[in-house]
Chain A
Amino acid sequence: MPKLTYTATLENLEPMLDFLEQGAKELGFDARELNRIRLASEEVLVNVINYAYPDKNGSVEIIYDIQDGNRLVVEIIDSGVPFNPLLMPEPDIESPVENRKIGGLGIYLVRSIMDELSYRREAGRNILTLIKYQTTG
């Protein structure tokens, strides 16, 4: 499985996304889906970059795997503060804009784009798994 480890900084966001896009391309997603997968990946990686390591630099490990020729499985792993993004409350996207909360939009987009999401905390690490099926053949 292709795997890379980066220092969790915004400067490294582009190379991280490029790495994941390779995996998505291998599975033959079209340009529109590639763009959406990139967006979902950005959202989870930015969460790690901004919040996982409040007082120090840390790293983020990115793994992808193509399973059964029909789905991209991505794992984003950090050793930062315990944080399960899947517990973020859903934003109310129909509320009047004056009351719109700014938090939670990112993970909402991730949920909309990806097919399956799961989180586990294991040996002091946050492990977020994202799965996207390739359904267009």
Chain B
Amino acid sequence: MESKFSVTYQEGIASCELCGRLDATNAPAFQEELKKLIGQDVSRLVFYAKDLEYMSSAGLRTIIFAKQKIGAASSVYLIGAQEAVQNVIKMSGLDTFMILQDTYEE
């Protein structure tokens, strides 16, 4: 699957669609996309990860970056993540501040 990412913002909710692999080769570009949200009033950061097959620490760092720099007070959701991705999130303790759901529920 081709790796691609999109970031949209609407009424306080930043939605990120993640497909393929999020690793050291493409996490910097994704982080650049996220940087465009700095200064917006973000109350929720929602990562849609159903089609995300793989995430390395570069991806984890991007999520931490997003939480710290974009939505310090926001709720962070991870939606539909596959087992491999969930495991990396849990191994590195990101599940302590993320809400993991199968489908997005407010």
Count of inter-chain pairs, beta carbons less than 8 A: 60
Chain B, interface residues (CB within 8 Å), range: 20 to 34
Query: In the complex, A44 Cα to B72 Cα: how many Å?
Result: 30
| Complex partner residue of A97 from B24, B67, B88, CB under 8 angstroms | B67
What A residues does B54 contact at CB under 8 A?
35, 38-39
At the interface, yes or no: A119 with Cβ under 8 Å from chain B?
Answer: no
* Nearest-neighbor residue (CB-CB) of B24 within chain A: A46
Shortest distance in angstroms between A20's beta carbon and chain B's nearest beta carbon? 14
Residues in B with CB closer than 8 Å to A91 are: 92-93
> Once the chains bind, are B72 and A105 in contact (CB under 8 Å)?
no
Main secondary structure of the interface of A (DSSP, over half): helix
Give chain B nearest CB distance to A87 CB in angstroms: 17
| Chain B residue nearest in CB terms to A17 | B23
User: In the bound complex, how far is the Cα of B23 from the Cα of A109, in angstroms?
Assistant: 14
Set A50, A96, A100, A106: member contacting B56, Cβ < 8 A: A106
B residues near A, CB below 8 A? 23-25, 54, 56-58, 60-61, 64-65, 67-68, 72, 83-84, 87-88, 91-93, 96-97
Question: In the complex, A103 Cα to B80 Cα: how many Å?
Answer: 27
**Cross-chain contact A42 with B61 (CB below 8 angstroms):** no
Footprint of B on A, CB under 8 Å?
Answer: 10, 13-14, 32, 35-36, 38-39, 42-43, 46, 49-50, 91, 93-94, 96-98, 100, 102, 105-106, 108-109, 112
Are B68 and A105 within 8 A (Cβ)? no
What residues of B have a CB within 8 angstroms of the CB of A39 in the complex? 54, 56, 88
Contact at A94–B91, with CB atoms within 8 Å?
no
